[in-house]
Amino acid sequence: MPPDRHPVHFPRKLAFQEHVWGPLGKAVRASNQPGETTMSIDGEDTQQGDGSGFIRIGGASIVAAIAIHFILNAALKQFPPDGAMGTELQEYLAREGGTWAIVHGFRYVAFTGIILFASALFLRVLSSRQRAAVGWGIVGLLGTALWVTNGVVTNGLEILTFLGSDTVTDDLFWLLFESTRVLFTAEIATWGITILGFSVASWCSGALPRWLSVVGWTAAALDLLTGVLVVSVISGGSAAIFADLGSLASILWMLAAGIHLLLRGSRR
């Protein structure tokens, strides 16, 4: 007869888990406050920090980025005279080289502000835990990625033009200059993708006031229409009005959204 075999009962938790993770998990759960999120030891979501500070930083960042945009474009940057060639063009490049160096450098600060704003707004959308809102928020993030990438490429082309000002030919200069115009028109279309995504996400989640979502839809429609009519816009046709109105509506939407995030943080 084989010896009696008694079943071996394993404890649900090892001693290490019981003495270390057990009390720690209780302490984490006890310290949680309503409205805050983190990841529990078992991999489930619990509550810990609501991210108000980061959201406010994101709101302040887009306000600063818009201020930088206006200062650079309205006060510092001077475009070349239409049809400038030869000596006139070289004089312009020599005269404005220092100013454009400042413009090109501070644009990267503005790009950082845009990324912080988009991240903060997505965090506010994410707190609603609504799948549709999160999906549209991802659309907004992807639009932001396209926007910043476009801006970096445009900035790089302009830097290349001024760095090679001694050797660049007139035809090459105007080719690069017109390329930046095309890229800027495409950038307006990426604004539309960004604003559309975040406006719909905010409508679903309450991340922004609903009236601001309506403004965002209007701005996005104008921006995307600018992209569709890009040839007419660049050639100075009648569709250029859509680019002007879309740019204005987009900047107002970003400014209002940034101020809302700055003032409200994570509060609804």
CA distance 194 to 202: 12
Tell me: pLDDT of 141 over 80: yes
Q: Which helix (H) or strand (E) holds 37?
A: strand 37-39
Tell me the β-bridge partners of 179.
none
Place of tokens 């609903």: 210
CA distance 234 to 232: 6
Mean pLDDT of the chain: 80
Which CA distances in Å does 168 have to 39, 138, 161? 56, 41, 7
The listed range with the strongest mean pLDDT (44-48, 90-94, 216-220) is 216-220
CB-CB contact of 93 with 100 (8 Å): no
For residue 122, the number of C-alpha atoms closer than 13 Å in the C-beta half-sphere is 19
Tell me: pLDDT of 50 over 80: no
pLDDT attached to residue 26: 43
Q: How many residues does the chain have?
A: 268
Distant-in-sequence, close-in-space partners of 93: CB < 8 Å, separation ≥ 6: 161, 162, 165, 173
Write the pLDDT tens digit of every residue in 53-63: 999 999 999 99
pTM: 0.77
CB-CB contact of 135 with 150 (8 Å): no
Give which of 63, 23, 15 is closest to 41, Cα–Cα: 23
In terms of pLDDT, which residue wins out, 55 or 24?
55
Tell me: pLDDT of 163 over 80: no
pLDDT attached to residue 238: 87
Q: What share of the chain is helix, strand, coil (3-state, %, to 5)?
A: 75, 5, 20
Tell me: pLDDT of 41 over 60: no
Angle at 20 between CA 15 and CA 26, to 5 degrees: 120
Tell me: pLDDT of 168 over 80: no
Question: What is the DSSP-derived secondary structure letter of residue 107?
Answer: H
Residue 65's CB is within 10 A of a number of other CB atoms, namely 23
Write the pLDDT tens digit of every residue in 76-127: 777 777 777 878 878 887 787 778 888 888 899 999 999 999 999 999 999 8
CA distance 247 to 233: 13
Of 154-168, 187-201, 239-253, least confident by mean pLDDT is 154-168
Q: Which helix (H) or strand (E) holds 136?
A: helix 131-163
61 backbone dihedrals φ, ψ, rounded to 5°: -65, -40
CA distance 249 to 262: 20
**Which sign, positive or negative, has the C-alpha torsion 249, 79, 225, 111?**
negative
Query: Given pLDDT bands bounded at 50, 70 and 90, which one contains residue 179?
Result: confident
Give which of 200, 191, 196 is closest to 131, Cα–Cα: 200
Tell me: pLDDT of 32 over 50: no
pLDDT attached to residue 123: 94
pLDDT attached to residue 49: 59
